[in-house]
Structure 1
Amino acid sequence: MTRRGVRRVLPLLLGWEDLPRSVSVHGAPYGERVREPVPGVLLETEEGWLLLDTGFNTALLRDPALRRRYYPSPSYQPELPGPGEPLPEALAVVGLTVEDITAVAVSHLHADHAGGLKHFAGRVPVHIQRAELEFGLSGRPEVERETIFRVDFDDPRIDWRLADGDREIAPGVTAVLTAGHTPGHQSFVVDLADGGGYVFACDAADLTENLVDERPAGTSIGVPPEATLEPVRHLKRLAQEKGYELVPGHDPVFWPEFIRRLSPGRPQALTAGSAHRAFS
C-alpha cells in the first residue's frame, strides 16, 4: 500500500551566483570565489505541485538602473540562466507551467529565493516562517543590506501561510525552522510515497562542506557564525534517523548532478563537473 507522501521530486536550476566562498563558509580564505547554482524544487503531492523557492526577480537584474541600485557590489554577481523568465523556463523543461503550481514555500527571503514570488501573488498560498516575514517587513535598514529586497515580497495579494516553528505544509512535506542564516530560515523534510526521502537544508548549509565538515555559514543575521552549526546538526540528525539524503542548498557540483540523477537527460543539468553525494 502506497504511503502518504510526495510522488515526485524535480530539482530546478533558476540561475547562478558568482561570489566569494566566504559568503557560504565562514572563515574561507579571502579571494576564493565560487559559482553557485540558484535552486528550486518541485514536489508533486496529493494536493498538487508544491514549489520550494522561486529564484531571482529578473527586473532587478535586467534593468541597468535597478541592477546598480540592488546589486552595487562587484564581488557578488547574479546570473540568469537564459533570455526569459527563469522560473517559467525551468518549469517548461519538465512540462509544467506557473499555473500548474498549487502552493509555494520559501526557505527565506534572500533575493535568490524570494524574487519569483511575483508569479504567485493572488494565486496560491505561500508558506513562510512568521519570524522571517516580520524581519523582512520590519523596515530596519539592515534588511536590504542583507540582500532581502522588500519589493520582492511586499505585495498585499500574497496569501501568506505563517508558521511558528516546524509544521507540515503539504502531505509528506514538513518545514523545519533552522534560523541563523536569517531570522526565520526554514529547511524541508520530504517523505516519498514509495519510501525514503530527502532533507533539503536550503541555506542552512550552502555547500557540502557545511554539512560534512560542519563549517559555519558565511552569513548569518542576529547570531554569531558558530550558532549556524546547531541547525546543521539538527538536520543531520533528522536525515540519519530517517535514512534520508541531506541536500545542500547551493553546492555547484552536487546540484547539477542532483538534477541529472532525478531527471536524466535534462539540459539544465549539463553545467558542472564530476558528481558526488552530499551527505546521506
Structure 2
Amino acid sequence: MISSAETPVRLYLFQLNTASIPTPTGSLEMSEGCYLVQTSAGQNILIDSGSPATHASQSDTSPVRQGKNVVMHLADLGLQPGDIQTVICTHFDIDHVGYHSHFLHADFVVQQEQHVSAFGGYPRYAVSSPYWDLPMIQFHIVDGDVDLLPGFKLLHTPGHAPGHQSILLQLPSTGSVLLTVDAIMMKRLFTPDRIAWPMDDNQDELRASTRKLQTIVDQEGVELVIFGHDGDQWRTLKKAPDFYD
C-alpha cells in the first residue's frame, strides 16, 4: 500500500517503440511509452504497460523501431514485475495495457468512468479486454481528480477515451511534470480549439480536457509537459535508464 507520507522522487520514461507514419505532407514521428515513478519510501508505481508483444507488428504498416517492452526496461534497472506495487491505468486502449498480466499482484488504479465503460461493453475497450479483464486484477477505482499521494495527482481528462487520466507529478529537482498521455498525444495539439483525430472519442470533452491541462500548466508553474506519442519531443527527453528527479 502507498503511504500518505511518501512522495515521488524519480521518474523514468520507458520508450517502447517508435514509428514513422506516412501523411499526405510527409510523415509523423510517433513514440510509444510508459512510465515508472519511484517514491521516497521505495515504492514503484508503473503508469501503463504498452502494447502486447504481437500488436505493433500487426497493427501498423510502418516499421516499428527501437522495440523494448516494459519488462525489459525494468530489468535494465534491476527490477522485476514483482517489484511493482501499483499500476496506473490511464485508459484501456491496447497500446497501454498489453503487459498488465505481468503485474497481477499489483493494485490497478482506474477512473470510475473508464471502469464503468469498459465493463459495460464499450466497444473500444472490448478490443483490448483480454489484456485488462483478468480475474486476478484488483482495481482501485477513483473518481475525478485525486491525489494518489503528495506530489502525485491523477487528473480526469476524457475526450480521447472515456475515463482517460493524465498525471501531474512534483519532483524534488525537476519540479512539476505533467504527463498528458493520450489526452494530448502531440505537442502541436496543445491548443484549445484543436480538431479531434479519428481515434479520439469526443471532441467537446477533448477540448475541455485540453483547456483544463493548459490551466494547470499556468497555475502550477509546470516545468515539463510530456506528450504521450510525440516522437520529435521524445527524442529530446531523458529516457531510462536516465531519469528525472
Give the aligned partner of residue 53 of structure 1: 48
Rounded Cα–Cα distance in structure 1 between residues aligned with 2:26 and 2:130: 31
Q: Work out whether residues 204 and 217 of structure 1, in 8 Å CA contact, stay in contact via their aligned partners in 2.
A: no
Q: Among 121, 133, 139, which residue is 2:121 paired with? A: 139
2:84 to 92, 101, 106: 101
User: In the alignment, which residue of structure 2 is the partner of 1:5?
Assistant: 7
Percent sequence identity is 23
The change in CA–CA distance for 1:234 and 1:78 in structure 2 (over 3 A counts) is: farther
2:20 aligned with 1:42, yes or no? no
* Contact 1:201 1:248 (C-alpha < 8 Å) held by counterparts: yes
SS of aligned partner of 2:237: helix
Instruction: Kindly provide the amino acid, as one letter, of the partner of residue 37 in structure 2.
Output: L
Range with greater deviation from structure 2 (8-17 or 197-206) = 8-17
What is aligned with 1:174?
153
- Structure 2 Cα separation of the partners of residues 214 and 20 of structure 1: 25
Give me the whole-angstrom Cα distance separating, in 1, the residues matched to 2:26 and 2:157.
27
The equivalent position to 1:188 in structure 2, one of 167, 170, 173, is 167
Question: Residues 32 and 109 from structure 1, CA distance in 2 versus in 1: closer, same or farther, beyond 3 angstroms?
Answer: farther
Shift of 1:236: 1.5
Whole-Å separation in 1 of the counterparts to 2:240 and 2:130 = 35
Q: Counterpart of 1:257 in 2: which secondary structure?
A: coil
Measure how far apart 1:199 and its partner are. Answer: 1.0
Alignment of 1:240 onto 2:218: yes
Give the drift of 1:52: 0.9
One-letter amino acid matched to 1:130: Q
Letter matched to residue 107 of structure 1:
T
Give, in whole Å, the separation in 2 of the partners of 1:120 and 1:158. 8
In 2, distance between residues paired with 1:8 and 1:158?
26
Distance 1:53 1:130 in 2: 17
CA distance in structure 1 between the aligned counterparts of 2:70 and 2:154, rounded to whole angstroms: 22
In the TM superposition, what whole-angstrom CA distance separates every residue of 1:186-209 from its partner, at most 9, and x where no partner exists?
000101134612011110100010
Superposition RMSD in Å: 2.8
Judge conservation of contact 1:12–1:259 (CA < 8 Å) in 2.
Answer: no
Cα distance in 1, alignment partners of residues 82 and 98 from structure 2: 17
- Once the two structures are TM-superposed, the CA of residue 214 in structure 1 deviates from its matched residue by 5.5
Matched-pair contact (CA < 8 Å) for 2:30–2:229: yes
Q: Unaligned regions of 5+ residues in structure 1, if any?
A: 22-29, 265-280
What SS does structure 2 have at the residue aligned with 1:253? helix
Inter-partner Cα distance in structure 2 for 1:143 and 1:160: 16
- The answer to whether the 8 Å contact 1:87/1:116 transfers is yes
Query: Could you tell me the TM-score, scaled by structure 1's length?
Result: 0.74
Helix, strand or coil at the partner of 1:259: coil
Residues 107 and 187 of structure 1 are in contact (CA less than 8 Å); yes or no, is this contact kept in structure 2?
yes
Cα distance in 2, alignment partners of residues 247 and 143 from structure 1: 24
Shift of 1:60: 4.5
8 Å CA contact 1:38, 1:55 repeated in 2: yes
Superposition deviation, residue 37 in structure 1: 1.0
The match for 2:69 is: 86
